[in-house]
Amino acid sequence: MSLGVWNTLEEIREALLISQKQRLEKTKAGKAILQKVGSPADVHSTIDKVDLSREVRTRLKVLPPPRNMDPCLHNETRIARVAFLRKQLENKKTSSTPTLLSTAGKMPP
């Protein structure tokens, strides 16, 4: 993490594979190569997807990520923001379900 790399190796590998396939799909020769190696036609077919039930989807509230989310910058501000949000959530104990924050990427076990 000291190099500023925040993605897992699996995420980097997946992004590289997708970008290479997208580049190859732009030409006849590239499409022929993809077909020859047996690569799926849909670039996004390599990504694991799970359908959520309607009940789960209606209960989720997904907010856009804040701007300037570099974890190395403005550390004091981010810590103060977390403290503020925790205080706000403690004052609003109207729900029995916890509030969770998550990244979109897969994390290693």
Q: In this predicted structure, what is the pLDDT of residue 1?
A: 42
pLDDT at position 94:
59
Cβ atoms of 10 and 18 within 8 Å: the answer is no
Cα separation, 30 vs 24, whole angstroms:
4
pTM flag (> 0.85): no
- Cβ neighbours of residue 46 under 8 Å, at least 6 residues apart? 14, 17, 18, 40
Cα 35 to Cα 52: distance, rounded to the nearest angstrom = 32
Could you report the per-residue pLDDT of 71-104, keeping only the tens digit for each?
Answer: 677 778 878 888 887 887 777 665 566 656 555 5
More confident residue, 92 or 7: 7
- What is the CB neighbour count within 10 angstroms for residue 76? 7
Least confident of 14-18, 52-56, 69-73, 76-80: 69-73
Look at residue 26 and tell me whether its pLDDT is greater than 60: yes
